Amino acid sequence: MRKIYLVGFMGSGKSVIGRRLSYFLRLPYYDMDREIVRQQGMSIPEIFEKYGEEYFRKLETDFLLNFRDEACIISTGGGVAVNEENRKIMRRTGLVFFLDANFEDIYKRVKNDKNRPIVQKSTKNELEQLYFSRKKYYHLAGHIRVLTENRSIRQIVEYVAFQVNRLKGE
């Protein structure tokens, strides 16, 4: 079976949904950011500060290219789907779900997060612009779009699991 990737903007619920989906489908779960942090022995803000964003983007593509070949759930970082090569790798090796949340909900979740360098250096307005400029890439990456607004985590997990089971054989 293929991998299940969750893409979407920061704070769209990729990690929470990924973890819960992992119990629901009995598949291992990996958080891409956490894996990169473990491999590098540095936090995301440290990687950004020491080596710059471009280097971090390379680590993301390396991760997608080299991560073990097993059926699993992977929550990606919010910038992963922007890169065409990343989109190709994900679509080739798995099923990609775009978790679509509205900006106000996202902003409430991320605004005080010290572990997200892009949030730290941006105003609300700048983040909103980034959100809209990235949307088309999430659409391009995703096989299936999941509307998360006004849905509970349980409802979202059940919907994704339903789609995974429906598309399993394809």
Residues in the site for ligand S3P, rule: CB under 6 A?
10, 14, 33, 44, 77-79, 116-118
Least distance in angstroms from the C-beta of 18 to ligand S3P: 10
Q: Which is nearer to ligand S3P, 132 or 162 (CB)?
A: 132
Which residue number, 116 or 164, has a Cβ lying nearer to ligand S3P? 116
Shortest spacing between CB 165 and ligand S3P, in angstroms? 26
The residue among 54 and 170 lying less far from ligand S3P, judged by its C-beta, is 54
CB 21 within 8 A of CB 113: no
Cα 156 to Cα 151: distance, rounded to the nearest angstrom: 7
Q: Which is nearer to ligand S3P, 11 or 94 (CB)?
A: 11
Residue closest to ligand S3P, measured at CB: 77
**Looking at beta carbons only, is 79 or 142 nearer to ligand S3P?**
79
Among 163, 159, 94, 103, CA closest to 132: 103
Shortest Cβ 168–ligand S3P spacing (Å): 27
CB of 48 to ligand S3P, least distance (A): 7
| CA distances (Å), origin 83, targets 9, 72, 77, 101, 127 | 14, 22, 12, 20, 18
C-alpha distances out from residue 85 to 21, 66, 147, 156, 163, Å: 26, 13, 25, 28, 25
CA 74 to chain CA mean position, Å: 8
| Min CB(96)–ligand S3P separation in Å | 15
3-state secondary structure of 170: coil
Among residues 82, 81, 98, 99, which one has the least CA distance to residue 90? Answer: 81
